[in-house]
Amino acid sequence: MTLASNLRENKAVYAVAGAGDFAVQKLREMPEQMTRYRETATKYQGEVRETVDRYRVQVLGTVDRYRGEVSRYQERVDAKDLPGAAVAYATHVGTLAFELFEELAERGKKVVHREAVEVAEITDTKPAPKPRAAAQKRNGTRTRSTTKKNGA
């Protein structure tokens, strides 16, 4: 097997190619999104300032109210429950990471095969046939003369 075929069969290579393709897609979308965000920010800048001033007092009151409730809940939490919750959380995150890896690998597989087809179309050359003598030597099947020499 060649290095290229080994790489093409490696899921990690596909995941890297998929991540790269995804990053390029998002980078291409950036100029349009930045223009849209800039227009939106300019449009609503005055409204945002008014809203912040209006709700600042309400937010401070809400924070004070919930501080008391949080301290009551902290007293009810049992330390024995924390390892189980941590394991459940880690398992969930692991599952999400595996799903993301699989999605990136699928995307990368499409990218790699699409690029391989494009390269094949560009080069459109077939490997040169090997000379017959070299092929026979490699296979160990040389033609030998079967006639015996007379005179011994």
Per the prediction, the chain carries an average pLDDT of 80
Q: Which of 21, 43, 31 minimizes the C-alpha distance to 113? A: 21
Q: What is the pLDDT of residue 30?
A: 94
Mean pLDDT computed over 106-130? 78
pTM value is 0.52
Asked if 126 and 32 count as a contact pair (C-beta separation under 8 A), the reply is no
Q: How far apart are CA 121 and CA 134, in angstroms?
A: 29
Between 21 and 127, residue with greater pLDDT: 21
What's the domain count of the chain? 1
- What lies within 8 Å, CB to CB, of 101 at 6+ separation is 15
Tell whether 147 is covered by a domain.
no
The range of the structural domain enclosing residue 111 comes to: 13-50+80-123
Q: Specify burial of residue 41 (Cβ count, 10 A radius: 0-12, 13-18, 19+).
A: exposed
Is 136 domain-assigned? no
Over 90: is that where the pLDDT of 3 sits? no
Q: Is residue 63 part of a domain?
A: no
- Looking at residue 59, what is its pLDDT? 87
The per-residue pLDDT for 26 is: 94
The CA dihedral of 100, 103, 109, 115, to the nearest 10 degrees, is -90
pLDDT band, residue 15 (cuts 50/70/90): very high
Return the minimum-mean-pLDDT range out of 28-37, 65-74, 129-138. Answer: 129-138
Query: In this structure, is residue 128 part of a structural domain?
Result: no
Report the percent of the chain where pLDDT is more than 90: 32
73 is a domain residue: no
Quick check: is 71 in a domain? no
